[in-house]
Amino acid sequence: MIFETLISQMPYLAHGLAVAIGLLVCLLSLGLVLGLILAILEVYGHWSLRLACVAFERVFRGIPAIVLLLLFYYGVTDYIDMGSFTAAVLALGLRSAAYQSQIFRGAFLSVPIGQMMAARAMGMNKLQAIRDIVLPQALRMSIGPWTNEFSSELKATSLAYVIGVVELTRQAKYIISNTQGNILIVFGVVALMYFVVNRAGNWALYRLENRLALPGFEHRGDA
């Protein structure tokens, strides 16, 4: 009986999972681009830019994801019209940018200063040296910590539930209301789906990290 319900409801769960993954991809992409810009400005920028970036980071890391979601969905929509999905991408994406900029900043700072110096001594301008020499090294070093950010944002997508994005957790809630019960099993299956996506993502990123690892800088075990 339970399994019949589950099988009949599976398309809804699958759709919810697709929405969750779509949200994850959008918010991580926004966070990646903005986080990289923030990190570069913080490491190489003028002090005033640096100050602004640090302030952005502090604010977005200090506010709970739920409050950001509510702020963007209920608050900002008073001024700018947007749907709940867009609000979720902005709220979680800007927050992720704050966390990702920390990861990238650490990676930039761990590239030895001599690399920048040798690039500049050759006649590269600062932008060329960052793009062709420092960035490729920093990105490689970022993959490990970025994997944690991936996991944490995958789980954060479930919070979009509170502003009505019909992602996986919201679908589960609907199924429970519609079928009058099966709560443990539905949430169990939903939890399993998050778990599997998380594992798969971690595995893929770990593979990527090893594939891009340079001789002498291989992964130091402890996945």
The interface with another protein within residues 42-61 (CB under 8 A) comprises 58-59
Residue closer to another protein by CB (options 9, 158) is 158
Which one-letter amino acid corresponds to residue 7?
A: I
- Note the residue count of the chain: 223
Segment contacting another protein (CB under 8 A): 11-19, 35-43, 100-108, 157-165?
A: 157-165
Distance CA 147, CA 135 (A): 18
Residue 6 makes CB contacts below 8 A (sequence gap 6+) with: 182, 185, 186, 189
Q: Which residue in the set 1, 46, 81, 214 belongs to the binding site for another protein (CB under 8 A)?
A: 214
Residue 117 within binding range of another protein, rule CB under 8 A: yes
Q: Which residue in the set 46, 215, 220, 221 belongs to the binding site for another protein (CB under 8 A)?
A: 215
Distance CA 28, CA 34 (A): 10
Residue closer to another protein by CB (options 7, 62) is 62
Which one-letter amino acid corresponds to residue 5?
A: T
Which one-letter amino acid corresponds to residue 57?
A: E
The interface with another protein within residues 166-185 (CB under 8 A) comprises 169, 172-173, 176, 181, 183-184
Q: Which residue in the set 1, 4, 48, 78 belongs to the binding site for another protein (CB under 8 A)?
A: 78
Check: CB of residue 28 under 8 Å from CB of residue 201: no
Check: CB of residue 83 under 8 Å from CB of residue 91: no
| Secondary structure (DSSP) of 72-109 | IIIIGGGTS---HHHHHHHHHHHHHHHHHHHHHHHHHH
Distance set, CA 153 to CA 28, 182, 184 (Å): 8, 27, 24
Binding mask 137-156 toward another protein (x if CB under 8 A, else -) reads x--x----------x--xxx
* Least distance CB 123 / another protein (angstroms): 4
Q: Which residue in the set 2, 25, 118, 204 belongs to the binding site for another protein (CB under 8 A)?
A: 118
Residues that bind another protein (CB under 8 A): 58-59, 62-68, 70-71, 74-76, 78-79, 112, 114-115, 117-125, 128, 132-133, 136-137, 140, 151, 154-159, 161-162, 169, 172-173, 176, 181, 183-184, 187-188, 190-191, 194-195, 198-199, 214-217
